[in-house]
Chain A
Amino acid sequence: MKTEKESMGRKTKRVALLAFKRSIPVMGTYLTLGIGFGMLLEKNGYGVWWALGMSVLIYAGAMQYVAVGLLASGASVLTAAFTTFTVNIRHFFYGLSMLERYRDTGKAKPYLFFSLTDETYSLVCTEDTLQGADRKRYYVILSLLNQCYWICGGVAGSLLSGAGAFDSAGIEFSMTALFVTVFLEQWLSSDEHVPALMGMGISVLCLFLCGAEYFLIPTMLLTTVGLTLYRRQKRKGETP
């Protein structure tokens, strides 16, 4: 009995260590982006409690940057809801593709789905080395670690900016850099480049047609239509 318990403890430790190792790139990214977010928020007059609360309750990197703009401009509730929908709707598809992997995760399931950010998704959607309970522990530990990094970053950024520690102009570029690296990573790991090119092409088109403020929603709609047509075309090609 005792030895079994010990081996369980050791197993958890081993999984935790693996999760920590895999999370290191996200730690760096989230601390950098979190600090950027905290600073931006503080600059707009919302202090450390706002940074903490938003990072715990919203926990969506890009959206929290956008949220700073919404708060600062005193946007309407409807605008906020609509913007959130367009910026975050991609998470729906992350959840969709994780249904199978997250099936037997019991009580942790809601949190695992809640914490499916871009970075967390990119780590959990490829995990194949662990089985059963170990895999479940890995998912939970990794998801929690990532959110901890994000919260620490946001709080630290807010405090640093409040203390006037340094001039943070340009820190917002970390978000651009993050998406470019994710884009390249996806590009390198897949042979199918049509969806990526379509997303980018339609975005540029809609940006020119509708302007910076309104291009997200038409882009999302057109992209969904485009991918639907692309799928149909591909299926036609596959049937003998």
Chain B
Amino acid sequence: MNTQQIHALLLVAVIALVTAAIRFLPLLLFGRKGKTSSYLTDLGNTLPYAIIGMLVVYCLKDVSFTKPPHGLPEAASLALVAFLHLWKRNTLLSILGGTLFYMLLIRLV
């Protein structure tokens, strides 16, 4: 095993530990009492909405609108995902349809 692999292993361990710690934290902090402050409950109810919005932007962060193809494959595929989802509300169909369409577009455009 070379140093690069050891470093990669270390990164995986850190990522796993931080992820698990975040998920266990509510249990460790409030698990016993089972009562949370109304502020945290409210934040728990609104933040997931904001975070998903952020993740959509995160996925598109490297798309360039100034260089060809000006983010057109992304825009068209996103429109298809939205159309499919509003039409059928079938998560699987929307994801598969949009992704296959995108894969096709970047090969043609």
B91 to chain A, nearest CB (A): 4
Does A170 touch B at the CB level, under 8 Å? Answer: yes
Knowing A32-B96, A96-B41, the reply to whether A113 touches B24 (Cβ < 8 A) is: yes
B15 interface neighbour in A63, A110, A220, Cβ under 8 Å: A63
Within 8 Å CB of A91, what residues of B? 19, 22-23
Does A164 touch B at the CB level, under 8 Å? Answer: no
B49 to chain A, nearest CB (A): 4
Residue of A nearest to B84 (CB): A181
B38 to chain A, nearest CB (A): 9
Q: Could you tell me how many residues of chain B have their Cβ less than 8 Å away from some Cβ of chain A?
A: 68
How far, in whole Å, are A227 and B43 apart by their CA atoms in the complex?
A: 7
Q: Name B1-59 residues within 8 Å CB distance of A.
A: 4, 7-8, 10-16, 18-20, 22-27, 30-31, 34, 36, 39-59
A203 touches B57 (CB 8 A): yes
Residue of A nearest to B18 (CB): A84
A179 touches B8 (CB 8 A): no
A22 to chain B, nearest CB (A): 12
Does A199 touch B at the CB level, under 8 Å? Answer: yes
In the A-B complex, the 3 residue pairs with the smallest Cβ-Cβ separation, listed nearest first, are: A199-B50, A199-B53, A28-B92
Chain B residues in the interface with A (C-beta under 8 A): 4, 7-8, 10-16, 18-20, 22-27, 30-31, 34, 36, 39-62, 74, 77-78, 81-82, 85-86, 89-92, 94-96, 98-99, 102-103, 105-107
B contact patch SS = helix
Which of the four size classes fits the interface of chain A? 35 or more
Knowing A173-B103, A203-B57, the reply to whether A58 touches B78 (Cβ < 8 A) is: no
Q: Which of B11, B23, B41, B90 has the most CB of A within 10 A?
A: B23
CB within 8 Å: A-B pair count? 250
Q: 1/0 per residue A42-75: CB within 8 Å of B? A: 0000100010011001111011000100110011
How far, in whole Å, are A198 and B53 apart by their CA atoms in the complex?
A: 8
Chain A residues in the interface with B (C-beta under 8 A): 24-25, 28-29, 32, 46, 50, 53-54, 57-60, 62-63, 67, 70-71, 74-75, 77, 80-81, 84-85, 88-100, 103, 109-110, 113-114, 116, 118, 121, 169-171, 173-186, 188, 190, 192, 194-204, 207, 212, 215-216, 219-220, 223-224, 226-228, 230-231
Residue of B nearest to A110 (CB): B24
